[in-house]
Amino acid sequence: MENQASILVIYTGGTIGMFKDANGSLIPVDFNELHDHIPSLDLFNFQIDSYSFDPIIDSANMKPELWVKLAEVIQKNYENYDGFVILHGSDTMSFTASALSFILENLNKPVIITGSQLPLGIPRTDGRENFITSLELAAAKHEETPIIPEVAIYFENQLFRGNRTYKFNAENFEAFRSVNYPPLAEVGVNIRYWENNIRKPNFKKLKINNNLESGVSIIRLFPGITPEIFHSMLNAEGLKAVVLETFGAGNAPTEKWFVDELKAGINRGLTIINISQCRGGAVEMGKYETSSELKRIGLLNGKDMTTEAAITKLMVALGKYSDKKDIAQRMETDWRGEMTE
């Protein structure tokens, strides 16, 4: 008989964990009663244990210290389980998936994050299939080695690398996309794993980067941004790093005041990384005149990272390294498959 797979389900909050009580009100599910709500779980040869945040967190309230708490729960239980399923609200799921990918160093087991657009206790819910398949993905092995040794998001029949995703739809069940990187697996009658897209395990000991720097910001450029507003953004108290969302392939205004503000910020010690506002494609600094100057004054090239990956990677990099050259080198280098070299 096959060895029983052991999965730890971590419930942070969110739509997926809600059921209707006798009065028709939505209340959080007791995860000790999961088998009562989803009898088909008995068909799997899984040991399923659960851990719930107390209090549960609306994903809009997710923050770095809670990412660290999630990582610590995984680290504490790492040797006792084959995989982990995190139930999470969809609004900030891509931020959490990206953050965990950088916090969890030498991850060699699946961490599958999922949620739903409709509560688990609603008849038409997408949560039931998302949850059941996430358990199966977290338990999947090939010759005793986990098939997905990385942080991933499963939603509506597709498994994506977590730090490549973004939420693009608030209504459809297909809520997430990964434009710059293909799926890790696709689910239909069978689960088809795209093994060439999946990171390989390194079999090193798990450790966590639990010191995150919160003095970071995202500045999205727009036509007509004024010198006064841009100056105030770059001079916010406690600011240490900025994700600058530029146009197209990394382009920005060439006006002197704009370049001078960026140069002054870099001279003060700010780390500024160039990320495209476009969800598909990559920053190519120097391709056009409007990005050549940014490269010359020291903006970092974010390549094809998502904004979610860039901001969480900055938090971890600034918490892990103190030397500006080390931070710059790490930000322009792929850590966890978040960028195409």
Catalytic residue among 15, 96, 125, 165: 15
Structure-token pair, residue 338: 């978040």
What b/e readout covers 272-301, taking b as 16+ CB neighbours within 10 angstroms?
Answer: bbbbbebeeebbbbeeeebbebbbeebbbb
Structure-token pair, residue 72: 């610590």
Find out whether 109 and 149 touch, Cβ atoms under 8 Å.
yes
Find out whether 211 and 319 touch, Cβ atoms under 8 Å.
yes
Closest listed residue to residue 109, CA positions, set 76, 74, 65, 154: 74
Task: Return the residue matching tokens 């699946």.
Answer: 110
Find out whether 114 and 135 touch, Cβ atoms under 8 Å.
no
Look up 340 and say whether it is catalytic: no
Amino acid letter, 271: T
Find out whether 161 and 150 touch, Cβ atoms under 8 Å.
yes
For CA atoms 187, 191, 192, 193, the dihedral sign is positive
Report the alpha-carbon distance of residue 101 to residue 95 in Å, rounded.
10
Catalytic residues, by residue number, are 15
